[in-house]
Structure 1
Amino acid sequence: MAQSHPDVPPPMHRRPHWPSAGLIASLLLLSGCANGLPRLPDLPGLPGRQERGNVRISDAPPAPPLQPSNNVIVDAVEKVGPAVVRIDTTKRVINPLGGLFGRGPTIQQQQGQGSGFITRSDGVLLTNAHVVEGASEVSVTLPDGRSFTGKVLGSDPLTDVAVVKVVATDLPVAPLGDSTRVRPGEWAIAIGNPLGLDNTVTAGIISAIQRTNAVGEGQRVPYIQTDAAVNPGNSGGPLINDRGKVIGINTAIRQAPGAGLSFAIPINVAKQIAAQIVERGYASHPYIGVRLQALTPQLAREINATTDECTLPEVNGVVVVDVMRGSPAAQGGLKPCDLIEKVGGRGVRNPSEVQLAVDQGRVGEPLAVVVRRGSGTTTLTLRPAELPRQE
């Protein structure tokens, strides 16, 4: 009779569980040896088993203590960064479906965000006109966390410059540079709040200057082009140089395969517009009242062959296509088929340069325009009028 063994459990009728081959391999790799498997010898020169924390993994000499930074970008950002602000706006818009079939309120609120920078310690700051356009409420937040209610003193759609005022004193100020000294290849540093990410710094170089055809028709701005990364939310923020001075206001981007291009309003243009806004609440732009066409040798040959109204030199230049009746151009003697060579003493090569040169003049004051008419050259004196403002 078999003896009973109360301390031994009865056998369980189930299949034995064997570890997988992958697990066995892992166990062997992690344990180093098992059931008599040979142990790999220690590598020569390495210590044997030691307590954790005592194993040296590097015998490089200790690094010298950090020296004060001499990074020009860091230094430039430290000068301007405290004066770069986030601008949050609220715009009230009419909902065309409001009140109909319960599709929402009649008036809805749209939130917007951009950047700006303080230029006067008493609370004057610059930004883009499109950042604050139509805003019923403007909030300005500094990097140190202080927040103020802003008032839009005025904006200029033609140059996309706006001035905002907050009630404060002793605010940090961004030093302004001279955009006429900007040259391609120099450092370009953008500071702003792209995509809601506050106090973001990106850097690149000045790619080009005097870009008059970068954004579209009607813009009277010789833009600075840069390859510094700029995104929505950067609008209105400063573009600075490696000396920590503002050289432009970031205003537009153009997407391209592999990279994007960004454009900034030269700070000298912005200062001129901002001064007018602070003084009288709006910016004044002179105009002469002409329609212009860029002329090429090929276009001149076609015009000369198809009409008797004009005989144009086969050159590159700017030709007057039409003159508005009663305009300053008409009163000053400018005629269709005139080839404009200089405006205000500045040589011009295309219609955008003519517009920029006229914009440098003053309303009601004499402006010299040199034209080639037929086989001769003559100088006309025009008195630009004020361009009607957009309401």
Structure 2
Amino acid sequence: MKLRPVLLVLVLLCGFYFLTTHFIPAGSVASWVHHTVKLGPQPNATETAFKGPLGTFNLTEADAAPAFDTEEQQNIAVYKKALPSVVNITSTAVAFDFFYGPVPQQGQGSGFILDKQGHILTNNHVIMNAQRVQVTLWNKHQYKAQVLQVDKNHDLALLQIDAPDLQPATLSTSQNLVVGQRVYAIGNPFGLSGTMTRGIISAIRSIRGPQNNPIEDAIQTDAAVNPGNSGGPLLNSRGEVIGITTLIANNGADQSSGIGFAIPINTAKAFLNDIAKYGYVRRPSLDIQTLAIGPDIAAQIGLAADYGLLIERVLPGGAADKAGLHGGTERAYQGNIPVMLGGDLIVGFDGQEIATPQDLQAALNAHRTGDVVTLTIFRGQRRMEVKVTLGDAKDQQGQLGQQQT
């Protein structure tokens, strides 16, 4: 009894095979199935026939452009809001050829408008050594720009143009940025003005800038940035500036590798605030000259820690001197270089370990002149916490030479 259904199915299959192979023309079944499942006309589309020497082409055309989805609408909104504030910058410098003849050299970058008075923010390396700087707005109007101030340590420059009806960018904050947050870069990569790319924040990290300057809390992004993007804005999803595109990690190739960096906008705000208040950048300083310490030197001179910065000299009347920090009292030589031993050993700055001059410079760059900070030092074998009010490097300029911090 159980075999009867199976035999019935086999008989039906064999009968169907016999009929389709001996009595029904080939292809008719496929044609019948095709017509059975054929879909009706697509909504919002029209079939149009074009006849010509090569035959007839039946094209299906949309009746109207489809509506943008939510993501596309956001991209478009960011671009429309930010584009009028973004400028292209062309800097012209004069070099000399083999026969000492002047040869103009041009570089390109980006920037963005800060106010209706024509102030523009960009990178210092975009206009460095330039004899002439020209700004092109989004509407293709060109203006000669004046360089008002630069901050080489933070790779920032402030320009100004005289132009009507400017649209300033909206500045956000670079505090509390989150890895994974969507960002947009608009600029002038390879001279292609008004180019927007999109990505996310990949990391927040400290890096070295184009002139080997430390950039604290740099915004790393996978948004494609290329030569010419430098100085342009990095934007959040509301079209507000959170950073200044500055650097690409290119591993020797002069193009995007998916790793770009931007200076946080809060660093730029501090730069602008100093200029507005004092007319120049107030770079915080401890007014000391230091010697980096490693395990070998520490063991030779009997220091309490095998890392840190040994204070060789304290500038009279400077920030460290006012806080009671001690410089060296004993002359020695490191190779052929004279050094002063016996001073305080700096190992911490507001709870952050200080092992190299770069660590100390990065810590200073995160503060401003007049801030009160706590240094962790060793005086001999005694560990101490000392409060220091940061001074202004300009006040002591040149008195300690290149090693002043």
Counterpart of 2:140? 145
Once residues 111 and 364 of structure 2 are traced to their aligned partners in structure 1, the CA distance between those partners, rounded to angstroms, is: 29
Once residues 189 and 319 of structure 2 are traced to their aligned partners in structure 1, the CA distance between those partners, rounded to angstroms, is: 44
Q: How many Å apart are 1:282 and its aligned residue?
A: 3.2
Partner SS state of residue 78, structure 2: helix
Partner SS state of residue 274, structure 1: helix
Partner SS state of residue 325, structure 2: coil
CA contact (8 A) 1:206 1:225 kept: yes
Counterpart of 1:384? 391
Query: What does the per-residue CA deviation read over 1:104-126, in whole Å, with 9 as the maximum and x for residues that have no partner?
Result: xx322111211111111221110
> 1:44 and 2:31 equivalent?
yes
| Shift in alpha-carbon separation, 1:222–1:353, aligned structure 2, 3 A | farther
CA contact (8 A) 2:90 2:134 kept: yes
Query: What does the per-residue CA deviation read over 1:111-145, in whole Å, with 9 as the maximum and x for residues that have no partner?
Result: 12111111112211101111111222221111122
Look up the equivalent residue of 1:66 and give its one-letter code. Answer: A
Aligned length: 329
Query: What does the per-residue CA deviation read over 1:288-319, in whole Å, with 9 as the maximum and x for residues that have no partner?
Result: 224364x8xxx65x566x3342022x8xxx61
Once residues 309 and 362 of structure 2 are traced to their aligned partners in structure 1, the CA distance between those partners, rounded to angstroms, is: 16
Once residues 209 and 292 of structure 1 are traced to their aligned partners in structure 2, the CA distance between those partners, rounded to angstroms, is: 29
Higher relative strand content: 2
Q: How many Å apart are 1:342 and its aligned residue?
A: 3.1
Normalising by structure 1, we get a TM-score of 0.71
> 1:113 and 2:114 equivalent?
no
Counterpart of 2:333? none
Once residues 354 and 85 of structure 1 are traced to their aligned partners in structure 2, the CA distance between those partners, rounded to angstroms, is: 35
Once residues 211 and 105 of structure 2 are traced to their aligned partners in structure 1, the CA distance between those partners, rounded to angstroms, is: 26
Once residues 83 and 304 of structure 2 are traced to their aligned partners in structure 1, the CA distance between those partners, rounded to angstroms, is: 57
Q: How many Å apart are 1:151 and its aligned residue?
A: 1.1
Once residues 97 and 141 of structure 1 are traced to their aligned partners in structure 2, the CA distance between those partners, rounded to angstroms, is: 33
Query: What does the per-residue CA deviation read over 1:137-167, in whole Å, with 9 as the maximum and x for residues that have no partner?
Result: 2211111222222111111111110011111
Q: How many Å apart are 1:350 and its aligned residue?
A: 5.1
Look up the equivalent residue of 2:349 and give its one-letter code. Answer: K
Look up the equivalent residue of 2:265 and give its one-letter code. Answer: I
| Shift in alpha-carbon separation, 1:66–1:379, aligned structure 2, 3 A | same
Query: What does the per-residue CA deviation read over 1:349-368, in whole Å, with 9 as the maximum and x for residues that have no partner?
Result: 55445323333545467544
Query: What does the per-residue CA deviation read over 1:191-238, in whole Å, with 9 as the maximum and x for residues that have no partner?
Result: 111111111111221121131446564435432111221111111111
Normalising by structure 2, we get a TM-score of 0.69
Q: How many Å apart are 1:184 and its aligned residue?
A: 1.5
CA contact (8 A) 1:153 1:281 kept: no
> 1:262 and 2:257 equivalent?
no
Between the aligned residues of both structures, percent identity stands at 31
Q: How many Å apart are 1:63 and its aligned residue?
A: 8.2
> 1:168 and 2:163 equivalent?
yes
Structure 2 counterparts to residues 67-86 of structure 1, below 5 A = 67=68, 69-71=70-72, 72-86=74-88
> 1:319 and 2:308 equivalent?
yes
Look up the equivalent residue of 1:82 and give its one-letter code. Answer: P
Partner SS state of residue 94, structure 2: strand
Look up the equivalent residue of 2:250 and give its one-letter code. Answer: Q
Partner SS state of residue 249, structure 2: strand
Instruction: Point out where structure 1 has 5 or more consecutive residues left out of the alignment.
Output: 1-39, 99-105
| Shift in alpha-carbon separation, 1:356–1:111, aligned structure 2, 3 A | same
CA contact (8 A) 2:319 2:388 kept: no
